[in-house]
Structure 1
Amino acid sequence: MVCITEDMIKQLQTLMDEIAEPLQKTFQNMHQGFPTETLVRFLKARDGSVSKAQKMLVDCLNWRIDNEIDQILAKPIVPSDFYRGVRDTQLVGMSGYSREGLPVVAVGVGLSTYDKASIHYYIQSHIQMNEYRDRVILPAASKKFGRYIGTCIKVLDMTGLKLSALNQIKLLTAISTIDDLNYPEKTETYYIVNAPYIFSACWKVVRPLLQERTKKKIQVLSGSGKDELLKIMDYASLPHFCKREGSGSSKHSRNGTNDNCFSLDHGFHQQLYDYTKQQALASEAFAPSKEGSVHVTLPEPDPDDAKIAETIESEFQRIGEKNGICQTFHEIKINGD
């Protein structure tokens, strides 16, 4: 992994000082008081190349302006019943914090169906969670722990992966590319849990295609991963699908408690949704009866990333035809994230 030096940071800062005022404004909104740390993220994403990092960052800022990303948290998905459908089919949530203060983000890779709304709603929802993490969750964690916290931990639940998941390859490619280009180096470690038997065969195909820094971030845990995850977080912060004895996942709460971090009824999603409604009211943009998604420009994937996606799809279809099942690892095709 490339070591980011003070000289690299100073060079990039000098270049960024010269950008136009609109870009400066959205950069301030993005870095949330931590400009140097943000520059480091983009330098890491481009292996220490100052010129490439500067281009990546400027492209990101232009993307934010063109798609009004600074205002996206003031555009709730309405009505709430429709948003509940999005949440029930795009299984992402926050279950707590690690002992070091990093937010623990849970992702239901296998059981997400993305079949209750258009691609634009799912992308809007994903970006809103990214922005809420970066503008609210991470700054609050930094303040609480008295040090900069700019990354999270992701726990990926592989329960339920099947061939039909490949029908969502366009959406997953779009989400992955948005994260790669505009939210780089935001995840400290990816923990894969509840991996089915076929996972090892598929992983042999995927792993060589990933960048070295990405490989180092991924850990495949046995079963639900509970024992390993308890070394870095308290039981209360475990995603609900890790609390079960043995492997397996559940989309529903147990014992009448609301520990399902995917659900709209979970505290994290309630706070996020309330926040978007408050922001909308403050900007006089909220209209309860209005429906319609935010259309964000879908970026073209990097040629190398596109090749990876094609290889994964082709190989997993072959495995699926041979074994009657298929796994898709596009959710963890996380170069640059």
Structure 2
Amino acid sequence: MSTTVAAYAAPSAKAPLERTTIERRAVGEHDVLIEIKFAGICHSDIHMATAGWGEAIFPMVPGHEIAGVVTEVGSGVTKFQVGDHAGVGCMVDSCRECDNCKAGLEQYCAQGNVQTYGAVGKDGEVTYGGYSTHIVVDENFALRIPDGLSLDVAAPLLCAGITTYSPLKHWNAGPGKKVAVLGMGGLGHMGVKIAHALGAEVTVLSQSLRKKDDGLKLGADHYYATSDPETFEKLRGSFDIILSTVSAPLDFGAYLALLKTDGALVNVGAPEEPISLNLFSVIGGRKTLAGSMIGGIAETQEMLDFCAEHGLGAEIELIAASEINEAYERVLKSDVRYRFVIDTATI
């Protein structure tokens, strides 16, 4: 039997979020029921709730940075027990049969993965996310949150953590590598922490020096303002990897010029507008302009274990559910250090 639970939803595009109730499916043979304790607010939630990335399904319950406690397990569940700390990230299912799924790259499922919210599941039902008190999810798409991580600072790792960890690992960030993190927000601050923990030399490129002290404290070795033209002269040809967490259009030619030969500019921020690019900026220096989307389930678990081992949680501002709309406005003004997390007990 399905269960009615409290949630916060956007009734239509650009409408303020409001308290409501939603139905969660009955716990199936391979499902776990998670009582959500904390839910992070990702910039993606705002893009989705405003239909900024195109058509979207409303009413919408956003939230794909979910941390809580398992309160019920299906009869066939083997990975979780009642009482375990568990999380849910950006997807709750995939085809499980394509080459990408078999390779542990469910995020690139050939048939399209099922997003945690704003999507239609295999059962034909719309998915609702973490701005709610409970969620039912297949055990294969739930993550184990290690004991070393508090649930409140772990929640943002389910998107911001894996979104930065996956490309840093893929492009071999580590000792001897120079990594620049572009943008010091919810994603960027985790990129700095993770790149530092991987052993890379880390530079933050931010619009201003306003957050410089924070950046250095979180593990950056250097910090430069992109509003200063001298930055682009001084750092030309410096980096092996630039991880762009920015969701606004950039002068890609200027940033590609900061790469060494064979360097990669990897985008994890997704602007709503198309970009323009002069291809000579990648041809000269055999450079790569790339993108990366979250990570597979196994890699997400690897990231959580890595963060627990290195004592890495998100820097958060805990809010009540009644403050979600205000939090959205503040995210758009870059007025958060560095991730809003909803205390779901307040829903």
Whether the TM-score (by the shorter chain) exceeds 0.5 is no
Higher helix share: 1
Higher relative contact order (Cα pairs below 8 Å, separated by 6+ residues): 1
Higher strand share: 2
User: TM-score, normalising length from structure 1?
Assistant: 0.31
User: TM-score, normalising length from structure 2?
Assistant: 0.30
